[in-house]
Structure 1
Amino acid sequence: MHVCDSGASRVRRLVAAALAVAGIATLTGFATPSPSPVDSDPIRALEYWLDDYGVRDAWQTTKGAGVTIAVIDTGIGKGPVEFSGVVGGTDVSGLGSADGRTPVGARDTDHGSWVASLAASRGTGVDTGMIGVAPEAELLSISVGFGSTSAVPFVEEIADAIYWAVDNGADIINMSFTTNTQEWDESWDDAFLYAFEHDVVVVAAAGNRDSGTTVVGAPATIPGVLVVGGVDRDGVASVGASTQGITIAVSAPSEDLLGVSADGTLVEWNGTSGAAPIVAGIAALVRSAHPELDADDVINRIIQTATPVEGVSWVPDPLYGYGLVDANAAVNAIVPTVSTNPLGSLAEWIRLHRRAAAADPEPTATTAPVEIDPLPPVDEAAAQANPLLPTEDTLLYATIPLTATTLAAILVGLGVTAAVRRVRLASRAPRR
């Protein structure tokens, strides 16, 4: 299992005071963006995706109020004011606290906080501090133990996390991790079905090459999941901070992202772990603006309004999916409703790939039984004779004639022999 960021070694910590003094300068060669005309805060100015992907325009309609996003990750920090939108949580790993707010995991324990800040950070003030894509949405923090430190099996943690999220009001579930294998444990079938049947949008990261993921893995291979690939600042598929696969639905920024750590420290990071919550935030904007729409229609609006990528002629493309996500279009465009999830049916997949392989212990009749007339009785078979014993036919036509012929031949032979002997004796008698 891997969280879908490009590694803690690539995280560069940014100090707000240094940014202000340097005029929005950053560390280690990070390109200096031009501040947005509406942003005087240097942190907000670094969030290029707000303008480039239509988020700020979508805010003219909604900021995500009334929608709940569940973050299944390492836990969302409890101290920073940016996370004041967290309304509940739990720990399914056996390592964290009951409220899910104590960061857990073998590495990148701040990962869940970074993810949550991109989805729904409140900022530090009206126009200051990092702000999420859906800053008025509420968050659920579900901590899982990534790595070998957890006492609970990973597949069990994820299933438990999904059930808890659904039962506690999640409208959207974000999963910024991959298993690096296309298949998934059968226990996930029922858990993901439970989410889909309760009208929940499930968003998953596609994974990153820098983390060893060359193609998408579960949960990004599960039908019906909104899978997010990553692009750089120019909208080009990221080499290290994304991967590829036919299940990618849309793409979003995965490079030069910001995140708020559990202790409030601001960091820069890369990976589809960040692209996924950007899309989860957009899903929250759509659900807030269109509460009458079900999860299938929310997903359909996001993929149908994505910006096509130049040079890509066939969608979904294994690098970009349907294109680059557009928050404003997803919220405000006119999009026909659908009756099924455009990303596939998990129930149908289970029927074909799970149940078809299992034997049916009690097959059911599909037609009424047909009455058939009884067959006539079968003649009893004659007892099998010994082939070595003579039969009536062999006695009459073979044995008796052969015996008679043989006796006659013997008698003739004896007669001839006797006659010959008499002739010889006669020839030897003295003449008188």
Structure 2
Amino acid sequence: MRRALALVLAAAAVLAFAPAAQATPGDAVRDREYWLDDYGIRDAWAVTRGAGVTIAIIDTGVAGGVADLAGAVVGGTDFSGVGSPDGQRPIGENPEHGTLVASLAAGRGTGATSGVIGAAPEASLLTISVGFDGDSDGQIADAVTWAVDNGADVINMSLSRNTLDWPESWDDAFLYAAEHDVVVVAAAGNRGSGSVEVGAPATIPGVLTVGGVDENGQASWNASAQGITIGVAAPSERLVGVTPAGRYITWAGTSGATPIVAGVVALVRAAHPDLDAANVINRIVATAHDTGPAGADFTYGFGYVDASAAVSATVPEVTANPMGDLAEWVRINRRADPTPEPSEAIAAPEREPDRGVPDPTGVLLPSLVSLQLVGAPLFAVALMVFVIGGLAVGAVRGNRSSRSR
């Protein structure tokens, strides 16, 4: 039980963060959101602010009554068993997390130039609270399915299982999302929280995985894990968000980089409503700014996300998700048990009824009828062969005798 609890806490530690103690004055919050300009988000707002798109936040719950999120949450639920039915009562050891994440995705701010504003400030939010107990795997699968069924266009997952693999129940849930053209955006994880390498769901094919960088665009060694499944990089240091109590704090981690990208995905979906999930993701990665250095893909993926280019650039359409094909992965890696199942017995062909007398000893002997039907002809044939053979032998001997004379 202690080992299981430690694993749950390790997963929760990636979901969590270490917020700075100082509060940020409300009138300075917007100025601290450097990513709005540095990553083309403010420019993208000239085209769309994400209206009509719904982002599902699978997390600790998004608190109701927060001024910066007024009108953003349009629905929710709880799978932890300890939250509120609408998912708006924060739960867990780090209850602020879900609200902080939501504010970076679709915060409304408290005025034209004050408060936290998200990357897609007119997008709607669904809040789904989950726990990290012994059935957290099942909760995640149920949460993804619920999000799809309740209108999510984008799913934000600022959490990690801390393992490269994932349970088979996630196969069905994430395939369900892919089949319904829902884009799943997941955090790479944080080195500072013990995640040296990317963990599921960020390792699942088709998921847009987000790595983290600092204000200078350099890899965030404490606030980002590395791995080959990273799709794009986004800010993960000196982030500002709002807590359930309405307090502004600065924090770090790919937990914050992920909703920034989820908001950019919402902008793309709003600007290009006819695109499927594969092409939405393709616009994100195809327009990212390549970092250039060899081997950088492990840290930056395709490069820094660029919201303006993702929304407005001319990008050829694709037929496959550039982040991979989960269905194909399942086909190859979830093969059936190689142990053959017992097959149905094949019925033996019907035999002619035995007309002979069965031999109780089991020794194979001819029956009386078989002797009658077969014995006489065989005897006649044998006699003819004997006579012909004798005549032939006699002829040969006679020939030899005449030659000797």
TM-score range, shorter chain: 0.7 to 0.9
- The TM-score, its normalising length taken from structure 2, stands at 0.79
Moved over 6 A (4+): none
Contact (CA 8 Å) 1:116, 1:277: kept in 2 or not? Answer: yes
Question: Which residues in structure 2 correspond to 1:71-220 (within 5 Å)?
Answer: 71-84=57-70, 85-105=72-92, 107-146=93-132, 148=133, 153-220=135-202
Q: Which residue of 2 aligns with 1:34?
A: none
Question: How far did residue 4 of structure 1 move?
Answer: 3.7
Q: Deviations over 1:204-247 (max 9, x none)?
A: 00000100000001111100000000000000000100010000
Contact (CA 8 Å) 2:30, 2:115: kept in 1 or not? Answer: yes
Structure 1 residue 16 corresponds to structure 2 residue 2: no
Q: Which residue of 2 aligns with 1:323?
A: 303
Question: How far did residue 11 of structure 1 move?
Answer: 2.8
Which range moves more in the overlay, 123-132 or 62-71? 123-132
Give 1:281's match in structure 2, choosing from 244, 259, 263: 263
Structure 1 residue 349 corresponds to structure 2 residue 329: yes
DSSP-derived class of the 1:177 partner: coil
* Distance change (3 Å), C-alpha of 1:314 and 1:301: farther
Contact (CA 8 Å) 1:92, 1:161: kept in 2 or not? Answer: yes
* Distance change (3 Å), C-alpha of 1:6 and 1:167: closer
Letter in 2 for 1:252: A
Separation of aligned partners in 2, 1:115 and 1:358: 44
Question: How far did residue 2 of structure 1 move?
Answer: 3.2
Q: Deviations over 1:254-301 (max 9, x none)?
A: 000011101111110000000000000000000000001011001000
Contact (CA 8 Å) 1:3, 1:273: kept in 2 or not? Answer: no
* Distance change (3 Å), C-alpha of 1:68 and 1:330: same
Letter in 1 for 2:334: R
Separation of aligned partners in 1, 2:342 and 2:305: 49
Contact (CA 8 Å) 2:60, 2:130: kept in 1 or not? Answer: yes
Contact (CA 8 Å) 2:205, 2:329: kept in 1 or not? Answer: yes
* Distance change (3 Å), C-alpha of 1:186 and 1:59: same
Structure 1 residue 294 corresponds to structure 2 residue 276: yes
| Count of equivalent residues | 335
Separation of aligned partners in 2, 1:303 and 1:176: 19
Letter in 1 for 2:220: S
DSSP-derived class of the 1:242 partner: coil
Contact (CA 8 Å) 1:206, 1:227: kept in 2 or not? Answer: yes
Question: How far did residue 3 of structure 1 move?
Answer: 5.0
Structure 1 residue 338 corresponds to structure 2 residue 318: yes
Contact (CA 8 Å) 1:305, 1:333: kept in 2 or not? Answer: yes
Letter in 2 for 1:278: I
* Distance change (3 Å), C-alpha of 1:237 and 1:166: same
Separation of aligned partners in 2, 1:282 and 1:145: 27
Letter in 2 for 1:346: L
* Distance change (3 Å), C-alpha of 1:91 and 1:45: same
Give 1:235's match in structure 2, choosing from 188, 192, 217: 217
Q: Deviations over 1:118-142 (max 9, x none)?
A: 0000111122211000000000000
DSSP-derived class of the 1:178 partner: coil
The gaps in structure 1 that reach 5 residues or longer are 18-40, 364-381, 384-432
Separation of aligned partners in 2, 1:357 and 1:115: 41
* Distance change (3 Å), C-alpha of 1:3 and 1:53: farther
What RMSD, in angstroms, separates the aligned Cα atoms of the two structures? 1.9
Letter in 1 for 2:161: T
DSSP-derived class of the 2:58 partner: strand
- The TM-score, its normalising length taken from structure 1, stands at 0.75
The gaps in structure 2 that reach 5 residues or longer are 1-10, 344-363, 366-405
Give 1:271's match in structure 2, choosing from 253, 278, 281: 253
Q: Deviations over 1:334-370 (max 9, x none)?
A: 001111111111111110000255557599xxxxxxx
Letter in 2 for 1:99: D
Letter in 1 for 2:226: Q
Letter in 1 for 2:146: W
Which range moves more in the overlay, 353-362 or 41-50? 353-362
Q: Which residue of 1 aligns with 2:39?
A: 53
Separation of aligned partners in 1, 2:48 and 2:335: 43
Separation of aligned partners in 2, 1:173 and 1:3: 20
Contact (CA 8 Å) 2:214, 2:237: kept in 1 or not? Answer: yes
Separation of aligned partners in 2, 1:131 and 1:4: 24
Separation of aligned partners in 1, 2:264 and 2:270: 10
Contact (CA 8 Å) 2:24, 2:250: kept in 1 or not? Answer: no
Separation of aligned partners in 2, 1:301 and 1:323: 13
* Distance change (3 Å), C-alpha of 1:93 and 1:6: closer
* Distance change (3 Å), C-alpha of 1:174 and 1:119: same
Contact (CA 8 Å) 1:104, 1:143: kept in 2 or not? Answer: yes
Contact (CA 8 Å) 1:260, 1:266: kept in 2 or not? Answer: yes
